[in-house]
Structures are given as C-alpha cells and as structure tokens.
Structure 1
Amino acid sequence: MKHARNLLLAAGLAFGLLPAAPAPLQAQDTTEIAFMEVIHSLFYSPLYVAIGNGYFAEEGISFDLLAGQGSDKVTAALLSGSVDIALAGPETTIYVGNGQSPEKIHIFAGLTATDGSFLVGRETPGEAFDWATLKGKKILGWREGSAPAIFLRKALENAGLDPDKDVDIITNVAIPARGGAFMSGVADYGTFFEPDVTKLEETGKLHALTNVGQAVGQIDYTVFIARESYIADHPEIVSGFTRAIAKAQAWLDTATPAEAATALAPYFPGVSPEELASSVERHRAAGVWKSSPAVSPEAIDRLQDLLIANGLLPNDNRLPYAAVVDPTFFTKDQQ
C-alpha cells in the first residue's frame, strides 16, 4: 500500500493531483488505497458525494483523487500496480482481456449509465438538435478507441452520418488542452464533460446543444475496475467501496440540486453553487447517472457490439460477461 501511494504522489506532477477537499471524519480503522479517476468531472458526481458524505469513511476506506487524463494512462497505472482501484471506461477491461498482459482487470461496480459528454457549438441551441446538421463539419473529439470517441461515432451513425467521410473528427488534442483549442477555433463543434461545458458557456459564444449519451442509449460508460489479483486479495475493500458508491447513487437520486451542489462544492472550487446546481439538473435531464452499481450482461454485450462495429475488436475476440465483470459485490452486498 505504501509503495503504491508513493508512486501516486510521484505521479502528481504528470497527472495532476487534485486539490484536497475537506475530509469527513474517518473510521477508526482506515485503509488508504491508491485510486485514480480517468478525468475530474462533474459527470462522476456520485463518486464525490460518496467521499463528501462520508460513505467511504464509514467503510474504513480513504484515498486521494488523482486524474490520469485518459483511460489508457489509467489502465497502465492499474496494471503496473501503482493504482489499486480506478474509474475508467469499461472498454479497458476488454482491451486488456484480449491483450498480452498476464494480469487481467475486472469491473466490479458501475457509475454512469451512458455518455455524459455534451456537444458544444457556436449557435444558440434550439428545441431539438439534429445531428445530421454536422455533415461537413469539424468536431473536436477524444482519443481513438476511448469511450467518448466510440459513443460520438455511434451518435453520428444513428443520424445517418459516416464518421469517417461525412465529418472530420480531431482526435489528437491532449485532454488538458481541449478547452483552449476549441475556443481558439480548432473545430466547429466539440464534445465536453462538465464542468468544462459550463465554463465554455460562460464565454457567451459557446453553447451546449445536446447530450451524446441520449443519442446513443443506455450502455455502461464509466466503471470501477481493479486487477483480478487485487479483488481476490482484498474483497472486503472492494465490497466496502461498492457499498459506498451505492449509497451515493441512492442519495443523489433524490437530493435537490441545491443539496447536491453543497456536497459537490469542495471538489470543484472554481465552480459556483448556481453552476453546480445547474450541472446536476443537466445531468439528470440526460439520464446519465446509474441508480445502482450493477452492470448487466446486456450492457457489456452492447458495448462489445460498439467496439466491433468501430473495428476496435474482432468479432472472434468477444469476451464472455464473466471475463469482464465480477458481479459478486453489487449482487451480494447490495441486497
């Protein structure tokens, strides 16, 4: 544990260790784990609620928030042993499952039900956005093979567009530079997560037009993953982690936007309470948060359908549910 934490602290300059939020009272016997999230976003609000409301503390678990800036980087940190538990796209488990690494990773809990990114453009939003109007336009996307890249392509295809011919998707801009690149005019449209969406709208020239996930449908988008060996060696930690997330999902399901904003404020110091409340309403309207940590076989099948359709997974390499997900913790502990 100490070795993993030291590696995480050393990685702070590379990944960006986030400002520490006020910590809730800790349980007497607390285990500190090494944790990494793919990016720091309001899209992952249930995670921050679980920390701020003390649900992890109740389970005797503590950790720092460290953003890896991409599922590929998170997966590398997880496989190297410098991270114990990570929040990343579910496609990572399938890529690793089909790769050469002797160590495999499993999903043990889900956080988000579909893509939480929003298409941002320069026109004033209307009542309903027509994705077909993007034909011939440049779109600032994400790294090829990543969850946001896959979901964007599916949204375009559902609108009758060929992502390779009808639009120009820019995929080589680093995550920290995306906002600045978009404001400088690198593309006509871009997909962004909160709080970046709110910050872009503050310019008065950029507007959130629609949610990508709504155009694609319900497919688990962000999940908690760990090495098979870590899950086998520390089932009590994985179980407690899952319970904490389940409590947060249930709380956020019924909390008012103002209550949610108060809980989230310490983790987003540059965002006003009004902006936080608005973001909560935006995410709820899009239906992007899961109400429980369960990940279904159907969701994994649909995900692999997407990967195959995008040429990222040969049909012969489709993995069974048991090779991707360990349902032990969200089926046993959530009863």
Structure 2
Amino acid sequence: MDKLLILVGQDPLISVVARKYAIWLIPTLVPYAILQSLIRYLQTQSLILPMIYSSVAALVFHVPVCWALVFKTKLGNAGAALAIGLSYWINVILLVIYVKYSSTCKKTRVSFSNIVLPSMKEFFSFAVPSAVMVCLEWWSCEIIVLLSGLLPNPQLETSVLSTCYDLSCLLVASLHYFIPYSVGAAASTRVSNALGAGCSETARVAVWAAIVLSVVEVIVACTILLGFRHVVGYAFSDVKEFVDYLDDITPLVCLLLTMDCIQAVLSGVARGSGWQHLGAYVNLGAFYLVGIPMASVLGFVLHLRGKGLWLGLNMGSIVQSFLLTLITSLTNWKKQASMAQQRIFEKRNTADETC
C-alpha cells in the first residue's frame, strides 16, 4: 500500500504510516461486518435504544483503551487501529446478547436454514449496487485528498502540509456527514417498511420529514461553522497559516455540508426503495464525470489549488443532489408500494415451497 501511495504522489512518510494503520485495521473488518448486519436487523424493528446503549458502552470502553494502546504501549497509530477493532467487538457482543435473550426479538429471531441460500441471489442484486453507490462517493473524496498532495502550493512548505490541510477539511465534512447519514438510514428503514406494508402515503411523508429535518440541521451546523470560522482551525493546529487556510475555505466546506445533507437523505431513500442501481449510476456520473475532472481542471490548470479541488468536489455533490432530487420527485409511491408487496409475496411463496 505504501508503494501505491508513493506512486500516486503521496509523501513517503505519510505512506508508511498509512500502510501500518491500514494493516492493523484489517482485523476490524470482521466485527464491523457483523455489527452492520445487527444494526440493520434492529433498525427494521425500530429497536433504537439497544443500539444507543451499546454504542455508549463501546465509546466508554474505547477512549481509555485507545489512550493506553497509543501512549502507554507505544503502539502509536497501530494502537489506535487496534482499539477500534476491540470497540467494535464490544458493541457486537452486547448486541448479540440482546438479540439472543431479549423477548423483543423473540418473533424475528431465527436460526440459519436452507431458505437463506436461494435468497442470496436477490440479496446480492441489492447489496452490490448499494455498496458501489456508497464506495463511489467516498472514493471520490479520497481521490481529492490524494490530488491535494500533488498540488504545487507556494504558501506551504511541503506537500505534506497541503495534504494535512485538506484532510482536516475532509474530517470536518466527515464528522458532520454522519448526522444526515443517520437521518438517511432512518428514512431508508421507514420507507422500506412503509412500502412493504403497502402504505405509499406513509413512505412519501417519511421522505419529506427526513428532508425537512436534515435541512434544519444543516442550517444550524453551517451557521455555527461560519460563526466560528476564524477559530475552528485551532481545533487541529495552532499554526496561524493553517487556521487562516481553514478560515478561507470554510464557505466551500459549508456548501459541501449542504449538498451532503440532501444527498445523504435521498441516498437513504434510494436504498429503502430499492433504487441502489440508480444511485450507483448517479454517483458515477456526478463524481467521476463531473466532480473529479472539474476539480483537476480548477486545481491544476486554473491554479486554484486546494480551493479548486474542493470547488470541483462541490460541483459533483450538486449534480448528485440534483439528480437524486429529480428521481425522488418523479417517483410514483403507489407503484413502488405495489412492487414491494409483490416481492414479499414471491418470497413467501418461495419459502413455503422450500419448507
């Protein structure tokens, strides 16, 4: 991995650290995969409190363990990655205990059977485009960060600092993204449950409720960020040059937060409605035909440097939000509910035949 990062122009010091951190993150893939399955299982039943309690317990465990592994055992970044894996396992264990012994899950708790195998084909038809949909978006952000390391910036001493500056902007956007993403996950669950029950009007209302809630939240977040733009950089560094850079680029970050607010909710609606393949095409076109090419032109050809990269990423987000909004506004919810119920009846018939 370090050789690959160096090949695309990343600083060798950053590449070596990234390789070590990524290797120690590999064991976290197993508990993370189990955790995501448990979360979806509980979300579909609106069992939110158990997930909150287990997450709080995992956080209380994570903070001291991470500190100990990073500073006391001298593992550094490797210790941070290891702490993440341990925290995931704590979360998984607590949720497994709840699902296993809680009376709330009694009616939905089933053991593995041969009915699972025939349904795998249908599952993959939704899972693969859903994964592609998410990955295409996140990879575009990572590509922008990689490009930032290649920028010639006379105001910064090294490309390492340039990359760190843009990583900090990405961190701000990523921290906020989990809020609309969570609203989108809730919308996905509500919409899919409503469509499965044949309640098209409930699904439509859930979509609008999620959009309004997310818009109100992003207005508050952007107002706070713009209000503290002159000091927000001190959360990452006390270097005046760094603080001024974040101050200057904050409006672009706020624009990205706004677009993330819309697309995160509508992406959740798309997953809940079974439009994952449309979402994948939208993300492919928005970020890889518009966003990244525009970022490259603005950053390297027009010499706007970091601002150009972020402006290009924003253009991709704007196109993505516009296309998802167009798809959602043209949706016939009655037809979607009818199609969802038809799939349910087909699954029941298949299960009865297998039994």
TM-score, structure 1 length as denominator? 0.24
Return the structure number with greater relative CO, CA threshold 8 A, min gap 6: 1
Q: Name which one, 1 or 2, has greater alpha-carbon Rg.
A: 2
More helix by share: 2
TM-score, structure 2 length as denominator? 0.23
